[in-house]
Every structure is written in structure tokens, then in C-alpha cells.
Amino acid sequence: MFRRLWRIAALLLPALPSSAQTFQFLPEVDTYYKVNPKVFVQFQAKETREGGTPTQAELGPSIGFRLEPVVLGVGYRYMPSPNEPTQNRLRLDLIFLFPLKAKIVIADRNRVDLDWQSGTFTWRYRNRFAIAKTIAIKSYQPRPYVAVEPFYESQFQKWSTTALYAGCLFPSGKHAQFDVYYEHQNNTGNKPNQRLNQFGLALSLYF
């Protein structure tokens, strides 16, 4: 299964641009396998540019634990980029889910990234607060959402990035879902400041 996912990643991420871009398209594939009702395994392949870093591929597995209303996750990411040394990341997630009336869900995701690159260690904390609402179009139920996510970067010793999201989740059968979104980032860690406009398409597969 993992070999097939690496092939999908190679098709989605054929060439990462070497120069900074104001507008970017970010493809992503996430595959989930449910071990039991409380434990799942994820494999992710995506293109990313976050927190002032250059464009990178992000590949690797995670394991998650559902402890309602909390989800815990631990993962590893291998992150090559065209003009920088490869980055290795240990990722820790703590997600709180709060279902409300009228099919509204609030999600508060706390994530810590522990990064090693050329013998240098850095870390960052990021907190994504999202509100989503399921809407019914006859039997079809898409879920639009908005989110905000500030980043604290250890190398800058400050809250250096803010990301704003607007998107929608589109179910596709019982085992697939598309996430189509727009993301605006304001990065103040490097000078001059960066403002990025990113359009993402993420495919999630569930087994």
C-alpha cells in the first residue's frame, strides 16, 4: 500500500519551484486506515509552504487515537526541498472537537513540530481554530469552514506567522473526501515580510 502512495506523491509533486511565489497551488493526498474505533493510521503526501519556509514536499505516517472529544496524534514527516537540506520532523497533535447545534462543529488543533535540518534543531507551535457547518443539498452534505492559525517559531522567538483559511469539504462516496480551500499567510519572521496566497486541493481516502 505504501508503495502505491509514494507513486501518487511522485505524480502530485513532480517539481517544486525554487523561487518564492505569491500564488501557489498545494496538492495533497491523505490515506487513513482504521485499526479499531479508537485508533487509526494515516499516511500523508503533500506540497507545503508554511511559516516562512521554502516550498517543500511532506511525506510520512502518523498514528492517531480518538478519545472523545479529544484526538491525539504522533507522526513523522520527511520533507525534501529543491535548494535546501532535507528536513526531518516529529509532529505532535492535540485536537479538541466541540459539536454544537445546527450541525456546527468547532475544532481546536494544537500542533508542535520538532524539526531537524543539517544538525540544527528548531521547533514551532501552531494553533488552528476552525468552525465548520454541514449543509444539506438533498442527500448530499458538504461542509464549508473557516479557520485561523497563528505560528510561534523558535528561530524567531515570536509569533511570526498567521494563516487564514476558507474552504469546503466535499464527500465522495463512503471512502473519499475532497477539501478545497484558499489560504492566506502573513509571515513576519524573515525580512521583507511574506504574504502568500495559496489554493489547496486535498484528497482523503478512508479504509
Write out pLDDT tens, residues 82-126: 888 999 999 999 999 999 999 999 999 999 999 999 999 999 999
The whole model's pTM is what? Answer: 0.86
Contact partners, residue 101, CB within 8 Å, separation at least 6? none
What CATH number was assigned to the domain covering residues 2-206? Answer: 2.40.160
What is the spatial distance between Cα 180 and Cα 165, in angstroms, rounded to a whole number?
Answer: 10
pLDDT digits (tens, 9 = 90+) for 133-173: 999 999 999 999 999 999 999 999 999 999 999 999 999 99
Q: How far is CA 90 from CA 59, 113, 115, in A?
A: 12, 6, 7
Is residue 2 over pLDDT 70? Answer: no
Nearest to 74 by CA among 53, 56, 89: 89
The per-residue pLDDT for 54 is 84
State the Rg of the chain over Cα. 17
Q: What grid cell was written down for 135? A: 449543509
Report residue 16's pLDDT band, with 50, 70 and 90 as the boundaries. very low
Q: What grid cell was written down for 81? A: 526541498
Cβ pair 69, 98 in contact under 8 A: yes
The per-residue pLDDT for 12 is 44
Report residue 23's pLDDT band, with 50, 70 and 90 as the boundaries. confident
DSSP 124-162: EEEEEEEEEE---BTTB--EEEEEEEEEEETTTTEEEEE
Domain boundaries defined on the chain: 2-206
> How many residues are given for the chain?
207
Is residue 21 over pLDDT 60? Answer: no
